[in-house]
Structure 1
């Protein structure tokens, strides 16, 4: 993904796009060998000056969430993050005033179906394809999987749960570490709710596995990636996330929240920072660096959701012009762009020119997003 840019000027014609920019966390760099000291304890000195994220809320966001589904102050979930040359590290604390379930002990078991869990979703290039998911319960049982594309686009799980080494659907991590710790209370005890913490070391090599164009990702200050976090409780009845899952709804003609984590275009951003970010910067600050391709990404996904609705209304066919989609798009978001739609055997390819950074944004019927500079050198692909 492209390096970060400074925050846009408020008079920009792209201000409506920036107003919809997702949450951002600036990740401080560390020199401490955290990989060798992972134990689930966030009181270590390496975490001391690293600020917490915003508190998780219902997955649908404040506008669309029923009041009873939003966490109370006794059920806070927050994370911290740091990075070095080989790994991205996440540390989180999950508070609770109800029973914390932790039963699965076999690696790659479907934890979310029964246990309380902490989930991480990472899309290194923001392509919406070949993104990675990690779920961990309170007794440190992990489930790693890769989605070749979102389920709604015909994607399937790739993991050691459903396939063996050598099979097409096999995916496994090689350099990841996780650790958990019960801070208070007791697991599986409704009378003594547990608060627990987790540390995760995510290897860039694992995160980039099976991703085309991975040579374009450089681990350095300013590099960006798309990411989100979820806490699932009570067999999926509760879904609390860092960044709400909000996307364009062409039927309601507004941006709406959904109980669906597999909307990678709605995830937040991590920006790799310098070591000084831990002490001097608020990682959740509104002036944090932003992805210069964001306006084009947002507009491209507007086309994607409109085309999906159009296809459902027209027997599986796709529109060839924005005019045909006029009742299904956000005209303000598309206004700055020149849109070209070409039908293909599989569906369509839409190219959007006019992004403030000069890039061309492309989206397909299967949600694949790619970003190319004017010289046609692709810097973000699936």
Structure 2
């Protein structure tokens, strides 16, 4: 079911318009699937875990496995050839993540930190603590335990930069291989990655600059990159296209589908809710409905720009009244009105007034979403 379940909220609209020269549909296309991100409730553990990849502590027994990974595009895309699933836990020091990957040919070559790890088969973690889609973290690990940790200022599609010099200073990684590594003469069962990511390395990008408390929710997603391999002279090699002699495209399998072949759509990531030792039911935060409403208007702005060469200040031209049907709501939203218009060279800003939450919500052409308190 689509998580946009609220029947309506009071809105007023402000769009700051510009003439934008380039990015278009290719960079900001709307995902091709409904907004229905995965959700996970992570129990809290009272004692630290031995990060060795074996997952035999009692804490891991309390944590449920996620749904099996799907193709990054979701929808009717082919199912992954091999299964992948994840568990999560937390304590006052670490976010713990465990991934179990079915794999008949465990293979890894890269040994240098901050190499482009997705050139090997890998497991990837994406974390956006405050859910504004900017200043988020990425971690990639291969079966050798080699990793690439980086921070993104914003998604690449809006000009974001990867900060490779940002480091997870006390990251712990445990790898367990069910079989052998880099041995084409046998068939393996798979490999497990266990991670302990320090809150000290994540809290800077949270809403208040602090580690989470019980009940808090962060955005998170996971990806598995899988290359097609063949054996030559006792070694694994990527299968190549006979016409181009380039490796065949990799598969991208994820926990929460993106609806587009791009992990850098943080608005499509799943949610982790931090719970006590006994867990809890996931509680949907209705502010996420507001964010998604803004996001649909954002996509429509780029669609309009693709068609007409400019953004618009007229909400009617964004077909805002059609959004209720698109989002599966029972009623149309109240009529949107333009409160004010400001012009600049290459930006737009949409503001949405929502008295029920007591906030004024914003989204800009770079996709960042945030709110401020309404003035009394």
Please indicate, yes or no, whether the TM-score normalized by the shorter chain is above 0.5: yes
The answer to whether the 8 Å contact 1:295/1:355 transfers is: no
Alignment partner, residue 235 of structure 2: none
Q: Match for 1:313 among 300, 304, 307? A: 307
Residue 86 of structure 2 corresponds to residue 79 of structure 1: yes
Tell me how far apart the structure 1 counterparts of residues 7 and 211 of structure 2 sit (CA, whole Å): 29
Aligned to 2:53: 40
- C-alpha displacement of 1:149: 0.8
Deviation string, structure 1 residues 49-74 (Cα, Å, up to 9, x no partner): 211111101111133x1x3xx224xx
Deviations 1:14-66 (A, max 9, x none): 8xxxx8441110010011112xx211111222212211111101111133x1x
Counterpart secondary structure, 2:200:
helix
State the partner residue of 1:105: 111
What's the CA shift string for 1:55-111, capped at 9, x where partnerless?
A: 101111133x1x3xx224xx21111101111211101100123x2320101111101
Contact 1:338 1:352 in 2 (8 A): no
Distance 1:125 1:9, change over 3 A: closer
| 2:277 paired residue number | 275
Match of 2:166 in 1: 171
Equivalent in the alignment of 1:124: 129
- CA shift in 2, pair 1:322/1:293, >3 Å: same
- Distance apart, 1:217 and its partner CA: 4.5
Structure 1 unmatched runs, 5+: 1-6, 160-169, 246-256, 282-286, 377-382
Give 1:306 shift: 1.0
1:49 maps to 62
Closer, same or farther in 2 for the Cα pair 1:128/1:188, shift >3 Å? farther
Measured at CA, do residues 109 and 274 of structure 1 come closer, stay the same or move farther in structure 2, by a change above 3 Å?
A: same
What residue is the counterpart of 2:267 in the other structure? 265
Contact 1:351 1:361 in 2 (8 A): yes
Of residues 138, 142, 148, the one that matches 1:143 is 148
Aligned to 2:38: 23
Instruction: Report the equivalent of 1:249.
Output: none
The separation in 1 between residues aligned to 2:375 and 2:321, in whole angstroms, is 32
Residue 307 of structure 1 deviates from its aligned partner by 1.2
Aligned residues: 324
Once the two structures are TM-superposed, the CA of residue 357 in structure 1 deviates from its matched residue by 3.4
Q: Identify the residue that residue 28 of structure 2 maps to in structure 1.
A: none
Q: Distance in 2 between matches of 1:9 and 1:240?
A: 25
Q: Quick one: distance in 1 between partners of 2:6 and 2:115? A: 50
**Alpha carbon RMSD of aligned pairs, Å?**
2.8
Structure with bigger gyration radius: 2
Where structure 2 has 5 or more consecutive residues not aligned to the other structure, the ranges are: 10-33, 228-246
Tell me which residue corresponds to 1:203: 198
Are the structure 2 counterparts of residues 224 and 107 from structure 1 closer, same or farther at C-alpha, using a change threshold of 3 Å?
Answer: same
CA distance in 2, matches of 1:9, 1:228: 20
What residue in structure 1 maps to residue 175 of structure 2? 180
In 2, the alpha carbon distance for the partners of 1:77 and 1:356 equals 40
Structure 1 position 369, deviation (Å): 0.9
Residues 216 and 371 of structure 1, relative CA distance in 2, 3 Å threshold: farther
CA–CA separation in structure 1 for the residues paired with 2:177 and 2:335: 51
How far off its partner does 1:11 sit?
7.5
Whole-angstrom distance in 1 between the partners of 2:6 and 2:298: 27
- Which residue pairs with 1:379 in the alignment? none
Residues 311-350 of structure 1 correspond to what in structure 2 (within 5 A)? Answer: 311-315=305-309, 317-326=310-319, 330-332=323-325, 333=327, 335=333, 338=336, 340=338, 342-350=342-350
- Separation of aligned partners in 1, 2:322 and 2:35: 15
d(CA) in 2 for partners of 1:119 and 1:8? 25
The 1-side partners of 2:4 and 2:139 are apart by 37
Query: 2: distance between equivalents of 1:194 and 1:187?
Result: 13
Task: Quote how far apart the aligned CAs of 1:172 are.
Answer: 1.7
